[in-house]
Amino acid sequence: MITLTEVATGKVDELVKAEGDEALALRVAVRPGGCSGYTYEMFFDTEFADDDIVTEYGTVRVVSDPMSAQLLEGATLDFADGLMGSGFSIDNPNAQRSCGCGQSFS
């Protein structure tokens, strides 16, 4: 399952509070597509399947389906906020190759 850095956890917590629904969890998924074969998908979710894998980082819950969790094993989600832009990024040691946009891997 993916690990969140302290900075990413804080940002996700901030976004959940802004949404005003403490039941929200961050769903991190891997879907077929993109120029390298797979793409990352992240969104808030309140619906969970029986086989979903849930990990908690303080008050932040992260959810993945079993296939995505397997492809995200050992990966890290981070958040950067700087002059060159801000956003979440995933460092995935399972990715053999990734594209220039950083959203697709194989």
Q: Strands 25-32, 38-45: parallel, antiparallel or unpaired by DSSP?
A: antiparallel
Q: How far apart are CA 25 and CA 61, in angstroms?
A: 5
pTM beyond 0.85, yes or no: no
Q: Contact at 8 Å (CB) between 75 and 93? A: yes
In terms of Cα–Cα distance, which of 80, 52, 106, 32 is closest to 92?
Answer: 106
In tens digits, what is the pLDDT along the chain, a chain of 106 residues?
899 999 999 999 999 999 999 899 999 999 887 665 788 899 999 999 999 999 999 999 999 999 999 999 999 999 998 777 789 988 888 776 555 554 544 4
- In order of their start, the domains of the chain are 3-105 (2.60.300.12)
